[in-house]
Amino acid sequence: MSKLWATFASLLQLQLLIVTVAQAPDLPEGFPKCKRDANFDKCLVDAVNVAIQLLKPGNKEFGIPPLEPLSVKKLVIDAGNAPITLRQTLKNLKVHDMISTSKIQRYRTDLNKHLIICDSKTDRIEMIGDYEMSGRILLLPITGTGKANITLVNTKIEHRLIGEPYEKDGVKFMRLKEYRVSFDPKRVYLKFENLFNDKTLSEGMNRFLNENWEVVFNELKVGYAKSFGIIFRGLSNKLFEKVPFDSIFLS
């Protein structure tokens, strides 16, 4: 009896130990870490490339949803600059391929200033969802509601993460107050079904939009970038607000 009790007690102890260890705030399992030394920026490229792929199915513990496809409930783009004045709402958006086909190429960091700049390349960002649009594109009136497919190919993305330090129970954390994104795609394919509620007009307009994709996307891209910046900031902060600064970036 006493022997059994001792075994049980030591098992309980082990269990408590495991629970304590599991609750220590640290990055998700398998995330490589980097020391803040001369090699830091290079180290971060490989570490974050591994981390992003690990996060692809999401992470319950950190409240991170599946990232592929990434679901976006609603995204509103106001493009107010002539020659385009346009309001575009995308709903129930699914963003495909963005994580699998992304590679970070370079980091430039200044952690003393809580600044992280990163260049990445994404082969394919396929956004599928419902759209509502009205306004003008290249002086032409455009209206419609229906299914949309906006696909960006070979996109260079610059990420600018601007953090601010704060303390929780005497421990330093960093949260991102801004996450700025800029997109530079090699090609954008646009498909808005049912423009003008008219098949022929819709086909003509879609052809026109794709022939002029560069001008059209130039007007839309600030809006897309703003929306993605907010999404990326939210996702990043799920990690930053749980894990102390010195556990993410080793001193």
Ligand X SMILES: *[C@@H]1O[C@H](CO)[C@@H](O)[C@H](O)[C@H]1NC(C)=O
Question: Given the rule CB under 6 A, which residues bind ligand X?
Answer: 126, 128, 149, 151, 189, 191
The nearer residue to ligand X, 51 or 95, going by C-beta atoms, is: 95
The nearer residue to ligand X, 53 or 149, going by C-beta atoms, is: 149
The nearer residue to ligand X, 148 or 157, going by C-beta atoms, is: 148
* Residue 20 Cβ vs ligand X, minimum distance, rounded to whole Å: 47
How many Å apart are CA 236 and CA 52, to the nearest integer?
A: 11
* Residue 191 Cβ vs ligand X, minimum distance, rounded to whole Å: 6
Give the closest residue to 156 by CA, choosing from 247, 244, 95, 221.
Answer: 221
How far is C-alpha 102 from the chain's CA centre? 11
How many Å apart are CA 117 and CA 229, to the nearest integer?
A: 13
Strand ranges for the chain from DSSP E? 34-35, 70-79, 85-96, 102-110, 115-137, 140-168, 171-192, 249-250
The nearer residue to ligand X, 123 or 126, going by C-beta atoms, is: 126
* Residue 150 Cβ vs ligand X, minimum distance, rounded to whole Å: 8
The nearer residue to ligand X, 78 or 123, going by C-beta atoms, is: 123
Please state, as a whole number, how many other Cβ atoms lie within 10 Å of the Cβ of residue 25. Answer: 12
* Cis bond before residue 165 (omega within 30° of 0): no
The nearer residue to ligand X, 87 or 191, going by C-beta atoms, is: 191
How many Å apart are CA 224 and CA 217, to the nearest integer?
A: 10
Q: Are 151 and 101 in contact (CB under 8 A)?
A: no
* Residue 97 Cβ vs ligand X, minimum distance, rounded to whole Å: 10
* Residue 55 Cβ vs ligand X, minimum distance, rounded to whole Å: 24
* Residue 128 Cβ vs ligand X, minimum distance, rounded to whole Å: 5
Q: Locate 41 and state its tokens.
A: 């920026």
